[in-house]
Chains A and B, each alone.
Chain A
Amino acid sequence: EVQLVESGGGLVQPGGSLRLSCAASGFTFSSYWMHWVRQAPGKGLVWVSRINTDGSTTYADSVKGRFTISRDNAKNTLYLQMNSLRAEDTAVYYCTRPGGSYAFDIWGQGTMVTVSS
């Protein structure tokens, strides 16, 4: 079964750091681009970041310079290192895989990040 499982969310103070993980299974992880998408409570989906198969990365302007996406193909795991966290980063963070097109066909269950003092 194709599956993505996020972990690492929690409560962190403003200015703090957190690293999210996304464990992939059921497909050849190294062959796929991977993305992070977030959703603030009661709000819409927002694209956060992408990493392609050779490790090149792109970011939304709102997180550029603060977040770093990475992957470990040997561990079939995607990461999101989040630094200098702000209250507005509070959200459920989903990892997602695009299929043959640019659409996101596989999603994890999400992990909640709360930034608050």
Chain B
Amino acid sequence: QSALTQPASVSGSPGQSITISCTGTSSDVGSYNLVSWYQQHPGKAPKVMIYEVSKRPSGVSNRFSGSKSGNTASLTISGLQAEDEADYYCCSYAGSSTWVFGGGTKLTVL
């Protein structure tokens, strides 16, 4: 049950696009299309932004998109806005009714 690997931080200017990677193994990310992404603002509970690799919940901006290739999933945020500044976490089903999160990525909007 090792954490998925995310970059500690990414940054971008308003209007730009950024991508956050999430690398797991063939036992989690690589085996299941059950990767989700969460946005967390300081002192707040996480909010799901993407589920099942690339699906957006109702109400989530279409500026958020997800993809997966092999053992690596990615979250792309286009048209960066100030309110996107937050911590982002990926999560994958890891089999045997267990889940694993990534270490988190701090997004700074310059």
Contact = CB atoms under 8 A, between A and B. Distances in A.
- A in complex with B: yes
A107 B91 CA distance: 15
B52 A103 contact: yes
Interface in A101-117: 101-105, 107-110
Interface stretch (A14-22, A41-49, A72-80, A82-90): A41-49
Contact of A101 (B55, B100, B103): B55
B24 to A, nearest CB: 13
A105 B48 contact: yes
The winner among B48, B102, B103 for most chain A CB atoms within 10 A is B48
B interface SS class: strand
Interface residues of B, number: 27
B46 A47 contact: no
Contact of B45 (A101, A103, A107): A107
B64 interface: no
A99 interface: yes
Interface of A: 35, 37, 43-47, 50, 52, 56, 58, 60-62, 94, 99, 101-105, 107-110
Give 5 nearest A-B pairs by CB, closest first. A103-B51, A103-B36, A44-B104, A107-B45, A58-B97
5 contacts: A61-B1, A99-B57, A101-B51, A103-B52, A104-B91
Interface of B: 1, 3, 34, 36, 38, 40, 45-48, 51-52, 55, 57, 87, 89, 91, 93, 96-104
